[in-house]
């Protein structure tokens, strides 16, 4: 179990550090002026896990929970030490190593939640499209999905079986965290996964999925349907393994025009969240889509993650009070 008593205190500048996430529900009438504030009501002492889960459900907490979205940190010396011996993919696919990297920032900073060390591209790999990282940086996949035939070859049936190493890593992490610290699972959104799969690599401009959506939406929808089924099964597996919350990363949502977002991305996230049945709170994080608040709200996520381009204050005015905000 992670020993939070020996963890280093959170620095006062926590909100300003890259990758640190605050999750909170602040009502519009919350007193921002000290003179308006009433004497505080005593609050029960919460564990980090309770704090995170309550905040995700927009229930009262003693303070906003904090976690590190870039969980490997890249700057953590203990992570860099592991990278001297293992590749990124090896760290992801070895359950014991994945657990170690997951726990490193929690040990160092005493965060309220840990997010599993993994990658969104485990889904394409489980469907038959293997990936690896280049020495100079960036990801390369064994082939690009460029035709209807390529889409038809992608297999959904064995996704959960092929990702059993993720299941094991989650169960081991849950055991290590015990009842004190929350555990977050995640997946990429169908749209974001499609952008990588169709390029076959990380590239400066992801244009092929966008072109397919605009010129042949029927074929794009066939790919999105397969990815939605795969992501849903994957996240259901994570719930069974003991996660306290799930985040869907729509990292390339901002590549879409506001009028395209709902059909290309939003509707598929909504389908996934609906299929999960509310068993754990869900977080929808879509980068660069701050003009699509209604579409993000309609996904049914308990929490909406906002990026650095939007202020918490502005977002709070536009998002219902029963939906949490996370960021930024």
Strands (E), 166-239: 182-188
**Does position 75 have pLDDT exceeding 90, yes or no?**
no
Residue among 168, 183, 256, 180 at smallest CA distance from 220:
256
Q: Looking at the domain that runs over 17-26+44-327, which CATH code has it been given?
A: 3.20.20.210
- Kindly list the strands in the beta sheet with 182-188, ordered across the sheet, starting from the edge strand earlier in the chain: 66-68, 20-24, 324-327, 303-305, 282-286, 245-250, 182-188, 113-115
More confident residue, 20 or 231: 231
- Give the C-alpha separation, 54 to 68, whole Å: 18
**Does position 269 have pLDDT exceeding 90, yes or no?**
yes
pTM of the model as a whole: 0.88
**What are the structure tokens assigned to 88, written together?**
């990124």
Strands (E), 109-203: 113-115, 131-133, 139-141, 182-188
What average pLDDT does the segment 259-277 reach? 98
Q: Is the peptide bond before 306 cis (omega within 30 degrees of 0)?
A: no
pLDDT score of 323: 97
Q: What separation in angstroms does the CA of 93 have from each of 60, 106, 164, 170, 241?
A: 37, 21, 9, 12, 16
Per-residue confidence band for 20, with pLDDT thresholds at 50, 70 and 90: low
**Does position 15 have pLDDT exceeding 50, yes or no?**
no
**Does position 312 have pLDDT exceeding 60, yes or no?**
yes
Per-residue confidence band for 24, with pLDDT thresholds at 50, 70 and 90: low
pLDDT score of 276: 98
- Contact, 306 vs 288, CB < 8 A? no
Domain locations along the chain: 17-26+44-327
pLDDT score of 18: 47
**Does position 86 have pLDDT exceeding 90, yes or no?**
yes
Q: Which SS3 state, helix, strand or coil, does residue 321 take?
A: coil
pLDDT score of 148: 97
User: How do residues 200-249 score in pLDDT, each as one tens digit?
Assistant: 999 989 999 999 999 999 999 999 999 999 999 999 999 999 999 999 99
Residue among 100, 95, 105, 99 at smallest CA distance from 73:
105
236-265 burial string, b = 16+ CB within 10 Å, else e? bbbbebbbbbbbbbbbbbbbbeeebbbbbb
- Contact, 216 vs 194, CB < 8 A? no
User: How do residues 114-161 score in pLDDT, each as one tens digit?
Assistant: 999 999 999 999 999 999 988 777 899 999 999 999 999 999 999 999
- Contact, 248 vs 186, CB < 8 A? yes
Q: Which SS3 state, helix, strand or coil, does residue 201 take?
A: strand
């Amino acid at each position: 179990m992670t020993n939070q008593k020996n963890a280093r205190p959170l620095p006062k500048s926590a909100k300003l550090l890259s990758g640190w996430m605050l999750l909170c529900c602040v009502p519009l009438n919350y007193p921002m002026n000290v003179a308006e504030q009433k004497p505080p009501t005593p609050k029960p002492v919460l564990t980090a896990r309770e704090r995170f889960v309550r905040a995700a459900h927009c229930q009262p907490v003693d303070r906003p929970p904090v976690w590190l979205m870039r969980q490997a940190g890249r700057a953590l010396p203990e992570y860099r030490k592991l990278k001297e011996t293992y590749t990124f993919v090896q760290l992801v696919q070895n359950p014991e190593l994945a657990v170690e990297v997951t726990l490193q920032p929690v040990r160092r900073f005493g965060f309220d939640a840990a997010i599993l060390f993994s990658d969104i591209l485990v889904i394409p790999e489980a469907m038959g499209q293997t990936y690896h990282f280049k020495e100079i940086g960036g990801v390369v996949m064994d082939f690009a999905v460029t035709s209807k035939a390529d889409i038809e070859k992608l297999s959904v049936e064995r996704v959960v079986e092929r990702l059993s190493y993720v299941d094991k890593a989650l169960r081991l992490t849950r055991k290590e965290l015990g009842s004190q610290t929350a555990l977050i699972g995640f997946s990429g959104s169908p749209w974001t996964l499609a952008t990588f799969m169709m390029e076959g690599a990380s590239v400066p401009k992801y244009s092929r999925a966008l072109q397919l959506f605009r010129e042949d939406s029927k074929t794009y929808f066939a790919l999105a349907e397969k990815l939605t089924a795969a992501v849903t099964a994957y996240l259901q597996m994570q719930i069974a393994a003991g996660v306290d919350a799930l985040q869907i990363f729509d990292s390339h949502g901002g590549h879409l025009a506001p009028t395209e977002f709902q059909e290309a991305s939003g509707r598929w996230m909504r389908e996934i969240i609906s299929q999960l049945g509310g068993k754990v709170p869900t977080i929808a994080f879509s980068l660069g889509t701050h003009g699509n608040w209604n579409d993000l709200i309609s996904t049914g996520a308990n929490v909406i993650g906002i990026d650095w381009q939007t202020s918490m204050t502005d977002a709070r005015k536009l998002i219902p009070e029963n939906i949490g905000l996370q960021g930024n």
